[in-house]
Amino acid sequence: MTIETISENRSFGGTQGVYRHRSTATGTDMTFGLFLPEVARYAPVPALFFLSGLTCTHENAMIKAAAQAHADEAGIALVFPDTSPRGEGVADDEAYDLGQGAGFYVNATEGPWAPHYRMWDYITEELPALLGANMPIDEGALGITGHSMGGHGALTIAMTMPDRFRSVSALAPIANPTRSDWGRKQLAAYLGNDESTWAAHDATLLMTARGFPGDVLIDQGSADQFLDLLMPERLAHAMAARRQPGRFRMQEGFDHSYWFVQSFIEEHVFFHAERLL
């Protein structure tokens, strides 16, 4: 597996890189950002995957979340994957919330999406293995977080594969996509109309059915302009009903933007570092 270096910039004591590789999962080239802290010069470090939201590439959180300072201090890597396969020959849709930039972190089974939209496999299998083999990353010490659609991805993946991702948190996640316009359309497109296949990709349903073996950290802004689509109250209810260890925090006055993400990213980075190191 060859990894092409797009850019590397010194950032704090470490390096912020952008890399591209041929993905067997998606059958396309995939680009990701990787921040390596200073301590990664000496030994493999844990890594926190940050899954991004609708319309994002690998760049948004990498540039706007301001997580690097904290990751360097904590001694963990940050991984910023793209949100879908891209390129010519990859199916797309005119809507911002379907197709390229909107992979929803599932393995699509339906046409025209099935050939390339395999973000679940990409995030859970291919990218961890790639990083473990080629970068100073401890593949056995991975955490996962995300924003909006990425929070959905982080929660559904971690609850399904807690041995793969040992810590999980989310910022303003799409919490109940099987009941939301941010979800029903996409799950129908990618997985088909049999709604029984959707349940594996709904954080509220997974929280009710199985939860997560560690404690969970959720932050949500009270002034989020998408509260009706995110439905955080469903997840909060499921967490409390299950007695899931963790914290659901409603943060007063914050909206859905990266200004919200940036305001709480330090706590998320250290939350994961404490559980992975």
Q: Is 147 a catalytic residue?
A: no
Query: Kind of pairing, strands 29-36 and 77-81?
Result: antiparallel
- What's the one-letter identity of residue 199? A
Query: Applying CB under 8 A, does 241 fall inside the site for its own copies?
Result: no
For its own copies, the binding residue among 4, 6, 41, 63 (CB under 8 A) is: 63
d(CA 26, CA 88): 13
Among residues 29, 197, 262, 270, the one that binds its own copies under rule CB under 8 A: 262
Q: Out of 1, 9, 133, 241, name the contact with its own copies by CB under 8 A.
A: 9
Q: Which is nearest to 51 in space by CA: 82, 85, 94, 5?
A: 82
In degrees to the nearest 10, what's the CA dihedral of 156, 158, 161, 162? -150
Catalytic one of 23, 84, 148, 169: 148
Q: Quick one: which segment of 60-68, 133-141, 236-244, 269-277 binds its own copies (CB under 8 A)?
A: 60-68
From the candidates 70, 116, 201, 256, give the one annotated as an active-site residue.
256
The answer to whether 161 and 124 have CB atoms below 8 angstroms apart is yes
d(CA 187, CA 120): 13
The only residue of 39, 66, 188, 227 in contact with its own copies, by rule CB under 8 A: 66
CA distance 204 to 272: 21
Edge to edge, the sheet with strand 3-11 lists 3-11, 14-22, 29-36, 77-81, 45-51, 137-146, 167-171, 216-221, 246-251
| Closer residue to its own copies (CB): 9 or 193 | 9
Residue with tokens 């305001």: 263
- Residue from 95, 209, 223, 277 in contact with its own copies (CB under 8 A): 223
Check: CB of residue 255 under 8 Å from CB of residue 119.
Answer: no
In the complex, minimum distance from the CB of residue 262 to its own copies, in angstroms, rounded to a whole number? 7
The residue from 16, 52, 169, 186 that contacts its own copies (CB under 8 A) is 16
Instruction: Give the interface segment with its own copies, choosing from 44-52, 61-69, 88-96, 161-169 (CB under 8 A).
Output: 61-69
Note whether 96 binds its own copies by CB under 8 A: no
The stretch among 22-30, 186-194, 241-249, 258-266 that binds its own copies (CB under 8 A) is 258-266
Residues that bind its own copies (CB under 8 A): 9-12, 16, 63-64, 66, 68-69, 221, 223, 253-255, 257-260, 262-263, 266
Which are the catalytic amino acids?
148, 224, 256
